[in-house]
Amino acid sequence: MELARLLLIAWLAAAGGLVQAEVAVVDDTGATVRLAQPARRIVSLAPHLTETLFAAGAGERVVGTVEYSDYPPAASRITRVGGYSRLDLERVAALQPDLIIAWQSGNAAAHVDRLRALGFRIYVSQPNRIDDVASEIERLGVLAGSAPVAGRAAEAFRQRFAGLQKRYGSRPPVRTFYEIWKQPLMTVGRQQIISDVIRLCGGDNVFGQLETMAPTVTVEAVIAANPEAIVASGMGEARPEWLDDWLRWTTITAVVRGNLFFVPPDLIQRHTPRLLDGADRLCRHLETARSRRPAK
């Protein structure tokens, strides 16, 4: 009788596992990613994807990632498989992942196609709107079997996002130029998530009509656009020296009013929960620009 009871318990446990084992989500390309069971060995092909996996409660399942995956600190200890734009495909394959998370606009399409041809399951990420970050956290949680943790993180993100929308969404617009880099001079186009952050803050991206994610522009085009605020991020935690190069162009409103602002790149150029930290800083900068308008 005892043996029969144990066998029944084992059968019920197995049956429950079978019912709950298969997981499936739709990625940002519209493709359905289906796994026979939640992933246990994940390779992340971009720093922001690694960070988002940790936020989704799946950090311990990430066995490989790329250079500059440094947040949270535990991410720094994960095996490297090259950089997001120059992957070592042999290293990726050697890790035997049951799921690869790829970045559509950052990873080379040829690399992703090659990995797919080798039989690896691939989820392709491309969050272009702020609220896409919450959805991504949830979907990665499903794939990794950490849905409860991911759900809580996504809800916290949405609540904070709503608070920023309520506070800044109806503020008077500020014509804003966002500078990614100086040489070449690069900004953000309509589909880039930073454009959505600018909109959240009541800003108006002066190059927001461009379709390219990170278009190259000219100094003359910036002067002609005459932004009220210029925002730069650079490469690290320090304010880039080249932000002050705009001081020579004294016809630009942002220069006249001293509206040259810095936001650390990790807080605004990564599609992660920390994006709202960057948004909060940018919103406060644009409030400063509004406060410097001449009295009517």
Residue ranges of the chain that CATH labels 3.40.50.1980: 16-155, 172-291
| Beta bridge mates, 260 | 230
Cβ neighbours for 97, distance < 8 A, ≥ 6 positions apart: 39, 41, 42, 43, 63, 64, 120
* 147 contacts 138 by C-beta, under 8 angstroms: yes
| DSSP labels, 192-261 | SHHHHHHHHTTEEETTTT--SSS-B--HHHHHHH--SEEEE--SSSSPPGGGGGGGG-TTSHHHHTT-EE
Please check whether the domain covering 16-155 is classified as CATH 3.40.50.1980: yes
Pick the CATH number of 172-291 from 3.40.50.1980, 3.40.190.10, 3.30.1490.100, 3.10.100.10: 3.40.50.1980
Gap between the Cα atoms of 234 and 266, Å rounded: 10
> 3-state class of 64 per DSSP?
strand
Q: Tens-of-pLDDT digits for all 296 residues of the chain?
A: 443 333 333 344 344 444 458 999 999 999 999 999 999 999 999 999 999 999 999 999 999 999 999 999 999 999 999 998 899 999 999 999 999 999 999 999 999 999 999 999 999 999 999 999 999 999 999 999 999 999 999 999 999 999 999 999 899 999 999 999 999 999 999 989 999 999 999 999 999 999 898 999 999 999 999 999 999 987 777 888 899 999 999 999 999 999 999 999 999 999 999 999 999 999 999 999 999 999 87
